[in-house]
Amino acid sequence: MRAFLSCLSLKKNKQKPRYQEAIILASETSFTVNEIKALYDLFKKLSNCIYDDSLVHKEEFHLALLRNSHKQNFFADRVFDLFDVKHNGVIEFEEFVRSLSIFHPNAPKEDKITFAFRLYDLRQTGYIEHQELKEMVLAILTESELTLSDEEVESIVNKTIMEADSKGDGKIDQEEWKELVEKNPALIKNMTLPYLKDITLAFPSFIMNTDFEE
């Protein structure tokens, strides 16, 4: 995710965001106004992408997330799709801020649990089913450069479903997922990015030289 911040492009002739818009975003996310202003200037100053516009395209998203490895395509696609709230194939600045807010240390735990569920619910059915969970486990193993036999993977998936599926229907709904996370908080450990809280400290000059219009 940190690499992604270096791959956002903002068109120079696009109207600059207004301070009032930053206030609205701050009121609706876990970011402060200064954090949002820092994010905007960071995106603009560190732009190094394919397109010269105010949108993040899937190719740009992949370029950033896959810079160090080609093995994260699965997660790059999933995260991009969830950030692309309008489902138009691109991510706008406001979409990114609102989605990234879920990873902020101050974001409600409930929001993190819900986002993680959506990440696993590959087919958007409102349930995490056996095949979906298996695909995610395999993706995690691939990203971690670990190899397990198909029997071992099946064992992990079956044990997880057995633990979570309190209703006995062979799949995990949102209520069951929440209960599973309460028992195993490590499941949403990656839903918090501590550095987001310190972004204004890491890039203080962006606050003094913001391009946000008053």
Cα 22 to Cα 128, 130, 202: the distances in Å are 36, 42, 19
Q: Higher-confidence residue: 82 or 63?
A: 82
Task: Let me know: does 197 contact 104? Beta carbons within 8 Å.
Answer: yes
Task: Let me know: does 39 contact 6? Beta carbons within 8 Å.
Answer: no
CATH architecture of residue range(s) 3-106+193-208? Orthogonal Bundle (1.10)
**What is the distance between the alpha carbons of residues 80 and 58, in angstroms, rounded to a whole number?**
7
- pLDDT tens, position by position, 90-148: 788 888 889 889 999 999 999 999 999 999 999 999 999 999 999 988 888 887 788 89
Task: Let me know: does 22 contact 212? Beta carbons within 8 Å.
Answer: yes
Task: Let me know: does 194 contact 184? Beta carbons within 8 Å.
Answer: no
**What is the distance between the alpha carbons of residues 1 and 61, in angstroms, rounded to a whole number?**
10
Is pLDDT above 80 for 72? no
**What is the distance between the alpha carbons of residues 21 and 131, in angstroms, rounded to a whole number?**
42
- pLDDT tens, position by position, 184-207: 998 898 889 888 877 766 555 444
Q: Give the three-class secondary structure for 167.
A: coil
Does 3-106+193-208 match 109-191 in CATH topology?
A: yes
Task: Let me know: does 70 contact 47? Beta carbons within 8 Å.
Answer: no
Phi, psi at 132, each rounded to 5°: -65, -45
What does the block give as tokens for 94? 């406001």
Domain 109-191 -> CATH class? mainly alpha
Q: Residue 3: its pLDDT value, please?
A: 46
Domain boundaries, the chain: 3-106+193-208, 109-191
Task: Let me know: does 94 contact 51? Beta carbons within 8 Å.
Answer: no
**What is the distance between the alpha carbons of residues 205 and 214, in angstroms, rounded to a whole number?**
18
Per-residue pLDDT band for 149 (boundaries 50, 70, 90) equals very high
**What is the distance between the alpha carbons of residues 134 and 124, in angstroms, rounded to a whole number?**
16
The per-residue DSSP string of 69-90 comes to: -STTHHHHHHHHHHH-TT-SSE
